[in-house]
């Protein structure tokens, strides 16, 4: 029997072996991470505070932004810390938590995006029954099932992956732990559990993809029957942002997990992983805010509520009047 050396931890490969470039990459990822947090928190705040956005579509969008925040918060802070400390090691427990959280949030996001396509289908194809079908109770139930199913798949994936022994090289050719990289360094001869997990994940992804296709098939059929071009444009305007977000998320995931596995670490693999983990959370708020009049109007109302027209000028006048009466800076404040 071969003498295998058990692995007690892993080494995450960054984008460069040069410490200065590691620091630059870490700062760059930190800036992207902060931008993602700010934009998604803005969407969540708008939907929570604005009464005109209390609809099922924006309820799902709020949960999508929350999942984006959680998803990007798993690998990026750890990568930033490793880049500054120039220490790329990670424990088995830390690696397991990364896989658990990323798989759970990714699966939940896929299900929420699928629910959003169903919401658009009901709104366009069954408008008279929309409020009855997409009630608040139904929306909460759908979101709870999405989160619970995501946690279930994350648990199955993590359990299946770490039920195998690891030996040989402990280098993971990514900036975070992922299942394909761990399979390459597994010395187990039976991979029934992990292949079962992959099968369940593939079934989930294909089911969601088929559901979205069916929804948009009926949506397209209904929209083409609208007699006016203005009505068609309005219907398409509510669907294009969601379809764009779903396409970006699925496309980047397929590039990462469905490509031919390679034993030689490639910088392309790591760049594709960046697209998968950072691009969808960064683009989702942009797509929904720049192409959605409701969100732009909500942002305008929030800005007016925080600083009503003329209030800032009146506040400045009051401050200057106080200074002028105290004869400290009167010559600078003549209104």
Q: CATH no. for residue 62?
A: 1.20.1070.10
The pTM is what? 0.81
In this prediction, residue 143 carries a pLDDT of 95
User: Above pLDDT 90, what percent of the chain?
Assistant: 14
Residue 90's domain spans which residues? Answer: 9-302
- Alpha-carbon dihedral sign for residues 48, 244, 292, 224: negative
Q: Assign 69 a pLDDT band (cuts: 50, 70, 90).
A: very high
Is residue 166 scored above 90 in pLDDT?
Answer: no
Comparing 169-183, 222-236, 301-315, the range with the smallest average pLDDT is 301-315
Tell me if 327 is assigned to some domain.
no
- Degrees (nearest 5) of the Cα angle 100, 104, 106? 120
| C-alpha to C-alpha distance for 126 and 79, rounded to whole angstroms | 46
Look up residue 327 and give its two tokens: 């004869």
In this prediction, residue 158 carries a pLDDT of 85
* Within-domain flag for 91: yes
Residue 120 lies in a domain: yes
* Confidence label for 291 from pLDDT (cuts 50, 70 and 90): low
- Summarize the confidence of residues 139-154 as an average pLDDT: 93
Buried b (16+ CB within 10 A) or exposed e, 83-119: beeeebebeeeebbebbbbbbbbbbbbbbbbbbbbbb
Which of 81-95, 162-176, 314-328 bottoms out in mean pLDDT, i.e. has the lowest? 314-328
Flag whether 159 is in a domain. Answer: yes
Q: What's the rounded mean pLDDT across residues 12-16?
A: 71
Q: Residue 158 burial (CB < 10 Å; 0-12/13-18/19+)? A: buried
Q: How many domains does the chain have?
A: 1
Tell me the mean pLDDT in the region 279-308. 75
13 lies in some domain: yes
Q: Find out whether 109 and 249 touch, Cβ atoms under 8 Å.
A: yes
Note the pLDDT of residue 328: 44
Length reported for the chain: 335
Reported as a single tens digit per residue, the pLDDT across 87-134 is: 778 888 888 898 899 889 989 999 999 999 999 899 888 888 998 999
135 occurs within a structural domain: yes
Average pLDDT, the chain: 78
Classify residue 327 by its DSSP letter: T
Closest C-alpha among 211, 48, 205, 40 to residue 115: 211
314 assigned to some structural domain: no
Edge to edge, the sheet with strand 171-172 lists: 89-91, 9-12, 171-172
In a domain, residue 92? The reply is yes
From 141, 224, 206, 171, select the one nearest 9 (Cα to Cα): 171
């Amino acid at each position: 029997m071969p003498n295998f050396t058990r692995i007690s931890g892993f080494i995450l490969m960054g984008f460069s072996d040069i410490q200065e470039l590691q620091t630059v990459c870490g700062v760059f990822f930190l800036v992207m991470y902060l931008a993602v947090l700010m934009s998604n928190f803005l969407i969540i705040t708008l939907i929570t505070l604005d009464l005109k956005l209390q609809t099922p579509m924006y309820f799902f969008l709020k949960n999508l932004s929350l999942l984006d925040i959680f998803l990007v918060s798993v690998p990026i802070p750890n990568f930033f810390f490793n880049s500054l400390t120039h220490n790329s090691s990670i424990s088995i427990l830390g690696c397991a938590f990364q896989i658990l959280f990323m798989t759970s949030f990714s699966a939940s996001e896929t299900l929420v995006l699928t629910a959003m396509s169903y919401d658009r289908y009901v709104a366009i194809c069954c408008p008279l029954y929309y409020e009855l079908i997409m009630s608040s109770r139904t929306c909460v139930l759908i979101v709870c099932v999405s989160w619970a199913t995501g946690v279930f798949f994350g648990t199955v994936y993590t359990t299946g992956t770490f039920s195998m022994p690891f030996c040989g090289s402990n280098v993971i050719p990514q900036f975070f732990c992922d299942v394909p990289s761990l399979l390459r360094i597994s010395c187990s001869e039976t991979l029934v559990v992990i292949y079962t997990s992959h099968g369940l994940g593939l079934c989930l992804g294909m089911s969601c993809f088929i559901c979205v296709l069916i929804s948009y098939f009926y949506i397209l059929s209904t929209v083409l029957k609208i007699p006016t071009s203005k009505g068609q444009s309005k219907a398409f305007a509510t669907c294009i942002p969601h379809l764009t977000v779903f396409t970006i998320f699925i496309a980047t995931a397929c590039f990462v997990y469905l490509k031919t596995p390679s034993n030689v670490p490639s910088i392309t693999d790591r760049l594709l992983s960046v697209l998968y983990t950072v691009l969808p959370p960064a683009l989702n708020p942009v797509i929904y805010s720049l192409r959605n009049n409701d969100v732009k109007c909500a942002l305008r109302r929030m800005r007016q509520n925080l600083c009503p027209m003329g209030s800032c000028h009146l506040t400045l006048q009051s401050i200057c009047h106080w200074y002028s009466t105290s004869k400290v800076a009167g010559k600078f404040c003549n209104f």
